[in-house]
Each structure stands twice: as structure tokens, then as C-alpha cells.
């Protein structure tokens, strides 16, 4: 049967064999397929399964960098995490770093397999870190290594043929803090500050079996205060909207343990009650690695492998590398021409359209105002003109009338003068000789 066929028949067949496998448990939850309405079935519910098949075929890669002073149990912890001897024992390694007081960068590869799932593990160690008389610059080769891996990726990504881009970027950075019970030392702080924006920083308290429970609680608090005070960012998984209560609680429980107080041991020892466990034996009893009551090893493994390996990689790629890349390219004078992309930004587009619309409205309003004012002033002028007209006509009439009055008054005065003179017989009215047509 192929995996492309109807999923409800094959769901148990492929995932069933992973029951006991911690790495696969999270996949299993994802592949749950709801059996409903077969006639409406399109097929995209099968996508997680396709992804699953492809991932299993391709395998997984994880690049972990481990830093901290020598002898803090880094190699032991890596071997404990993956339950194999990935890093060689202390003695063999010492030959390599002894004599040289410089920090070296060492890469160890191992492909491990669990229930048919392949994991290509690259562990990058830093022998010599913190061992010089003056460690002021100890962090430099480590930061350079992280940068150089980003550069390599950037270069590969910019090639014309990108089919073989290999991801050597550091996905997780385990930093081992010496179990002093005091607080972080100057080198711890410097390294973390130099690297925290380039890697997923996961601080751990080394060899926590050398501290009492109370000491661990206090030490953790002091470390957290230092980290907060120094503005150092540590890895923090995102909460997703579709995460259920259980997942959210699980994430919270993991993150509550930061910085993880770990104990490493690949050796099996016998407990007082006769169980055989991975742990460290003391006269007063056994410290068990895989016991959450004893240390945070399980929580650290959940973070690194079981729950958040993909998120560590995604965050490296989408946030940390992206930031590095942007800074690198703008440092080279390459700038993004934002105008090219504005078309595709719906929000910017909307804003732009709104501004255009508003400008148009304002223009129309201004035009209307001018027209209106023009009309008003025309009317006013007309009114003024007719007023002047009226006024002048009024004046004209008044003048005419006063002239008439004057004329009449003159006549009146004349008549009165004549009246006051001695009466003379009125002059005979000259007889008109009518020669005319009335006869």
C-alpha cells in the first residue's frame, strides 16, 4: 500500500511502530486524521504524512555547539543526550588542546538512527576555551566560527545553483556554567553577550550533582538575574495559537527549568532499591540522570530533541540568520529598494490609496471653494454696480427735479413781482389773423 491512498486505513500502520520512540511521539500527534464525510475528502489531510515520509527519507540534521571551560562535563553530557559515545573521552582530547593555549574549534559528526529515523548530528566543541591566563579574548574564535558558518550559508545561497546548500549553521548553543553557586563570571557574561543574537543560547549548570537542591535554586535565580540585567536573550520557544493546553503546559514546564541543572553519565549504576539506571554513585546514594526529581536532564533533552529541534532550526534560519544577513548586506552597501516591494504590501497599499483619495477630495473641495468665491464676488460686483447705477439715476432725477423747482420758483418770483407793480391795462391780446385752413 502506498501512503497516498486513503489515510484512515493506513494511519495506524505507519505510526504504530514508533510507540516507544520519544522522538516520534510528536509526529504521531500531528498525523491524527479525523474520519468524517468520505465523499468530501480532498486529500490535503494527507499532507503531514507526505511530509513525514519525506523527512524520514531525507533525515534530520542538528548542529550543536558546546562551550564552557574544560572538565565541566560537556563531552559526557552530549554522549548522555544521544546515548552514544559521540565525543571522545577527556584524556584523548587533552592531547589535542594541551600545549596550545588558544581556543580551537572542533567538529565531530555522527549519524545516529532511531527506529528508522536518521539524525545527522554535528557537535562543535571549543577546546581551550577559558584556559588561558588571560581569557579576555577567549570568546572571539567562537563568535568568528558562528559568523563564518553564516557567511558560508549566505555564499551558498547566493550561488546560481542552490540545490546543494548545506546547513552548517549553529542551531543550538549549549553554554556550560561552572557550578560555583555564586553567579556568572566575567567570561560567561562576555561570551553570552557576544553570541546571544547569533545563536539559540541555552545555558546549563554543569555537574549539578555537586550542589544541593537549595544551592541550585539560589544559583539559578542569581544566574537569571544576571542574564536579565545584562539583557542576554536565551532560547524561548513560541506559543502557537493552535497549541493545546497540554502542549503549552509542557513548554512552560521545560522553560521553568532554565538554566538547566544537568548531570551527565553514560554509565549504569545500581540504586539502593536495586534498579539499574544511568547515573552517578555516591556513598549516600545515586544521582539519576533520567529522573526529573534529581536533575533537569530530561527537560533539556525534550527542548533539544523531542519537542523543539525543528523550532531551534527554524529560529536559527528565520530570525538569527536573517538578522545577520541583513546586517551583513547593508554593511556592504546593499540596500533594499523598498519601493519595489510596496506594491505587495497590502497595508502600505491601502494607506497609499487612502492618501490619494484624501488628496483628491481636498482638491475638489478647493476647486469648489474657488468657484463659489468667484461667483460671490461677481454677484457682489453686480450688486455694487446696480447700486451705483441707482444712486446716479437718483442723483440725476434729484438734479432734474431741483432744476425744475428752481425754474418754477423763478417764475413764481417773477409773477409776484409783476403783481406788485401798478396795474396797467393789460396789453391787448394780439388778434391772430387766422389765415388758415379752419376758415
Ligand X SMILES: Nc1nc2c(ncn2[C@@H]2O[C@H](COP(=O)(O)OP(=O)(O)O)[C@@H](O)[C@H]2O)c(=O)[nH]1
Q: What is the DSSP letter of 383?
A: H
The distance of closest approach from Cβ of residue 287 to ligand X in the complex, given in angstroms and rounded to an integer, is 8
Q: Work out what residue 207 binds among ligand X, Mg ion, none; the CB cut-off runs from 5 to 8 Å by kind.
A: ligand X
Which residue is nearest to ligand X, using beta carbons? Answer: 73
- Measured from the Cβ of residue 206, the count of other Cβ atoms closer than 10 Å reads 24
Q: What is the DSSP letter of 39?
A: G
Nearest to 80 by CA among 262, 314, 339, 336: 262
User: Which residue is it, cell 546543494?
Assistant: 164
With a CB cutoff of 8 Å and minimum separation 6, the contacts of 153 are 165, 167, 168, 169, 321
80 part of the interface to Mg ion, by CB under 5 A: no
70 part of the interface to ligand X, by CB under 6 A: yes
Give the x-and-dash track for 241-270 against ligand X (CB under 6 A): ----------------------xx------
CA distance 279 to 293: 13
Q: In the range 82-101, which residues lie near ligand X by CB under 6 A? A: 90
CA distance 31 to 9: 13
Bridge partner residues of 276 (DSSP): 270
CA distance 67 to 201: 11
138 part of the interface to ligand X, by CB under 6 A: no
Q: Which of 22, 48, 71, 141 binds ligand X (CB under 6 A)?
A: 71
Q: Work out what residue 179 binds among Mg ion, ligand X, none; the CB cut-off runs from 5 to 8 Å by kind.
A: none
Count of residues near ligand X by CB under 6 A? 14
CA distance 64 to 420: 144
Q: Work out what residue 263 binds among Mg ion, ligand X, none; the CB cut-off runs from 5 to 8 Å by kind.
A: ligand X
The distance of Cα 196 from the centroid of its chain, to the nearest Å, equals 17
Task: At 114, give phi and psi (nearest 5°).
Answer: -140, 120
Q: Work out what residue 264 binds among Mg ion, ligand X, none; the CB cut-off runs from 5 to 8 Å by kind.
A: ligand X
How many Cα atoms are found within 13 Å in the side-chain-facing hemisphere of 203?
A: 28
Q: Which of 73, 128, 130, 279 binds ligand X (CB under 6 A)?
A: 73
Which residue is nearest to Mg ion, using beta carbons? Answer: 75
Q: In the range 59-78, which residues lie near Mg ion by CB under 5 A? A: 74-75
Give the x-and-dash track for 349-388 against ligand X (CB under 6 A): ----------------------------------------
CA distance 357 to 352: 9
Cα torsion angle, 168, 171, 247, 288, sign: positive
Please say which residue, 74 or 149, places its beta carbon nearer to Mg ion: 74
Nearest to 194 by CA among 168, 167, 173, 179: 173
Bridge partner residues of 64 (DSSP): 123, 172
Alpha helices in 120-234 (DSSP H): 140-158, 186-195, 213-229
Task: At 325, give phi and psi (nearest 5°).
Answer: -65, -45
Q: Which of 194, 210, 230, 271 binds ligand X (CB under 6 A)?
A: 210
Q: Work out what residue 76 binds among ligand X, Mg ion, none; the CB cut-off runs from 5 to 8 Å by kind.
A: ligand X
Q: Which stretch binds ligand X (CB under 6 A): 69-77, 137-145, 163-171, 405-413?
A: 69-77
Q: Work out what residue 209 binds among Mg ion, ligand X, none; the CB cut-off runs from 5 to 8 Å by kind.
A: ligand X
Please say which residue, 7 or 127, places its beta carbon nearer to ligand X: 127
Q: Which grid coordinates are listed for 26?
A: 510528536
Give the x-and-dash track for 328-367 against Mg ion (CB under 5 A): ----------------------------------------
Please say which residue, 28 or 108, places its beta carbon nearer to ligand X: 108
Please say which residue, 295 or 320, places its beta carbon nearer to ligand X: 295
Q: In the range 275-314, which residues lie near ligand X by CB under 6 A? A: 280
Interface residues toward Mg ion, by CB under 5 A: 74-75
Positions touching ligand X (CB under 6 A) are 70-76, 90, 207, 209-210, 263-264, 280
Amino acid at each position: 500500500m502506498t501512503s497516498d491512498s486513503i489515510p484512515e486505513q493506513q494511519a495506524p500502520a505507519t505510526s504504530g511502530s514508533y510507540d516507544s520512540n520519544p522522538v516520534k511521539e510528536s509526529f504521531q500527534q500531528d498525523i491524527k486524521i479525523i474520519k468524517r464525510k468520505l465523499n468530501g475528502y480532498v486529500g490535503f489531510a494527507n499532507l503531514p504524512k507526505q511530509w513525514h515520509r519525506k523527512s524520514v527519507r531525507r533525515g534530520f540534521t542538528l548542529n550543536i555547539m558546546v562551550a564552557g571551560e574544560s572538565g565541566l562535563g560537556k563531552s559526557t553530557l552530549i554522549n548522555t543526550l544521544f546515548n552514544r559515545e559521540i565525543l571522545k573521552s577527556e584524556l584523548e582530547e587533552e592531547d589535542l588542546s594541551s600545549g596550545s593555549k588558544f581556543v580551537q574549534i572542533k567538529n565531530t559528526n555522527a549519524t545516529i538512527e532511531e527506529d528508522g529515523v536518521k539524525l545527522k548530528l554535528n557537535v562543535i566543541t571549543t577546546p581551550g576555551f577559558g584556559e588561558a591566563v588571560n581569557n579576555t579574548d577567549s570568546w572571539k574564535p567562537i563568535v568568528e566560527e558562528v559568523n563564518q558558518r553564516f557567511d558560508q550559508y549566505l555564499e551558498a545561497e547566493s550561488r546560481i545553483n542552490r540545490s546543494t546548500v548545506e546547513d552548517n549553521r549553529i542551531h543550538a548553543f549549549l553554554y556550560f556554567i561552572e557550578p560555583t553557586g555564586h553567579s556568572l563570571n566575567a567570561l560567561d557574561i562576555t561570551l553570552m553577550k557576544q553570541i546571544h543574537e547569533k545563536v539559540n543560547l541555552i545555558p546549563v549548570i554543569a555537574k549539578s550533582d555537586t550542589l544541593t537542591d537549595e544551592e541550585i535554586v539560589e544559583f539559578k535565580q542569581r544566574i537569571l538575574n544576571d542574564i536579565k540585567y545584562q539583557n542576554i536573550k536565551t532560547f524561548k520557544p513560541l506559543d502557537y495559537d493552535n497549541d493545546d493546553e497540554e502542549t503549552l503546559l509542557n513548554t512552560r514546564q521545560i522553560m521553568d527549568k532554565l538554566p538547566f541543572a544537568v548531570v551527565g553519565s553514560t554509565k549504569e549504576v545500581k540504586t539502593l532499591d536495586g534498579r539499574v539506571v544511568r547515573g552517578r554513585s555516591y556513598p549516600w546514594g545515586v544521582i539519576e540522570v533520567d529522573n526529573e526529581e534529581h536533575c533537569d536532564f530530561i527537560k533539556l533533552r525534550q527542548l533539544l530533541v523531542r519537542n523543539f529541534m525543528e523550532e531551534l532550526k527554524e529560529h536559527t534560519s528565520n530570525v538569527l540568520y536573517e538578522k545577520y544577513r541583513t546586517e551583513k548586506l547593508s554593511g556592504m552597501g546593499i540596500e533594499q529598494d523598498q519601493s519595489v516591494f510596496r506594491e505587495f504590501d497590502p497595508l502600505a497599499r491601502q494607506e497609499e490609496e487612502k492618501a490619494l483619495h484624501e488628496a483628491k477630495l481636498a482638491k475638489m473641495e478647493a476647486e469648489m471653494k474657488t468657484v463659489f468665491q468667484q461667483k460671490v464676488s461677481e454677484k457682489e460686483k453686480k450688486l455694487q454696480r446696480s447700486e451705483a447705477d441707482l444712486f446716479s439715476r437718483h442723483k440725476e432725477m434729484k438734479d432734474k427735479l431741483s432744476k425744475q423747482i428752481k425754474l418754477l420758483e423763478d417764475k413764481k418770483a417773477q409773477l409776484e413781482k409783476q403783481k406788485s407793480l401798478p396795474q396797467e391795462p393789460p396789453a391787448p391780446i394780439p388778434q391772430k389773423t387766422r389765415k388758415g385752413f379752419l376758415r
